[in-house]
Chains A and B, each alone.
Chain A
């Protein structure tokens, strides 16, 4: 493997600044790898070498000595993979659906615009569960993503293409979105570091909507340091997203602590929810994953942190409440796909109604249709109070549990996913089993809190993730806690043995 492929974004940024390599060379290196490995992994839906190389060339010019490098930033010339949920001007933007199989976006999402302004190179659009609805990437119209650690297994979802791309070294880092765990769970299953920020921190403008009160974009990379670097570019107030939060900008990378011996995390209180670790609840998590999570927590104790037992009593209600709220919002958001202005239109129809009915029946896949139907039902006359309002009340109880918990601790830890990567097809026929694979991540979205997953070891050669949950707007603290662990361990540096 070319040594450049082993480097983090932070290291690549230094290599570009030192003129060790040009962005065109680096981008070509990754494009060649994509051409070689993507057919067996299916991490990308769209690659456009001409466009990527044009961006790389512009980045090299920006970094050219003659111009003094003015205007160049740390991401100038860095190739990045973008989840195909972000509208990207002139790029096919499918959201994993047949419905948008011909949708070349006429505009950029704010996230894409920010990366473009930073001089980053778009390496391609990554595969995902259709409209981000799934936990295995098997609902994509463009085929399942294969986990680079074992190609018979899922990469997780819905940001499974981004996760597989970074894990297989087809991209140095990527973006994802997380509505119920879609950054954290694939990060865990592919040995990556992934961060879902506090709701409202990253603009949702141009990010195709699934469940608007839960959706949030974030970085997926090899290290907390790389996630901090990407997050620096992604965050910021955006008047085009009515839920965007206006707050002072932080330098997430600059706030990471330098390496220190001894017990640098002395004073840090880690909350361990009995709902994750209690004897009766453990049945939901495999013994191997639980062992790795406990070993990671032991490592944190060695670094000086102390642990406190906490309780999130309404945790078990998060999956039921989510599967009312998310489908309800989805059914409303996806009503825009009607075959009139853009997207798929059925080839044969009689009247206008038939055009709607057939375009939607043919353009959406089974899981998306299921969720639209659930959402339509729970919002329909006579059921609204019993389902939708009740779910929103439970959402409040869940959020309150976290408020109480953060009075006792600085960060909450537990597993990201109850198991390592499962086999392709294993849960595809049973929606309920699939939904339960997000049991540890969903509550974080309901509360709107930031959450991370970091690599914490291997069970039968498959990676597992440790989840870190922080209080509102504590991204910097979470990244630093993750960074401390990565200074002391090397799980995050491992890459799939088969990927040469």
Chain B
């Protein structure tokens, strides 16, 4: 299979990455090369094979329901792009 330019733009949209027409064109070539490599998977019959999501087939451990983190608001906000009065600033979402 091969992707279309429209699909590349759509995926970039989903991934929230701005992409110019020229970049989309170059990316299309690269992605089609990579999907050419991936395509080898499709010929394999895996009907009775359980998908392996993880290297260790262990159940997810649950922690106790208690507070473990200390308040580090100032340390975390010191590295933020833009803050005001302890809040993270972003462009206005609601008018």
Q: Identify the A interface with B (CB < 8 A).
A: 102-104, 106-107, 198-200, 213-214, 239, 242-243, 245, 314, 316-317, 319-321, 323-324, 331, 335, 338-345, 349-358, 360-361, 364, 369-370, 372-374, 376-377, 380, 386-387, 389-397, 399, 430-432, 435, 445-448
Contact = CB atoms under 8 A, between A and B. Distances in A.
Contacts of A372: 15, 17
Contacts, number: 163
Given A323-B34, A387-B38, A431-B33, A213 B79 contact: no
A156 B63 CA distance: 39
Contact of A106 (B27, B35, B72, B81): B72
B18 A361 contact: yes
A392 B57 CA distance: 13
A377 B60 CA distance: 27
A341 B82 CA distance: 8
A350 B34 contact: no
Contacts of B85: none
> Chain B interface mostly helix, strand, loop or mixed?
loop
B33 A200 contact: no
A127 B70 CA distance: 32
B93 interface: yes
Contacts of A387: 38, 41
A294 B21 CA distance: 50
A339 B7 contact: no
Contact of A199 (B55, B76, B92, B93): B55
A360 B35 CA distance: 23
Nearest to B76: A106
Interface string B83-95: 0000010111100
Given A320-B38, A350-B91, 16 more contacts: A102-B79, A104-B79, A213-B54, A321-B41, A339-B81, A351-B91, A355-B91, A360-B18, A361-B17, A361-B18, A373-B15, A377-B11, A391-B41, A396-B49, A399-B55, A448-B55
A213 B40 contact: no
> Chain A interface mostly helix, strand, loop or mixed?
helix
Nearest to A389: B51
Given A320-B40, A350-B91, A341 B27 contact: no
A397 B49 contact: yes
A354 B75 CA distance: 27
B69 to A, nearest CB: 10
Given A102-B79, A341-B88, A350-B91, A376 B11 contact: yes
Nearest to B51: A392
B50 interface: yes
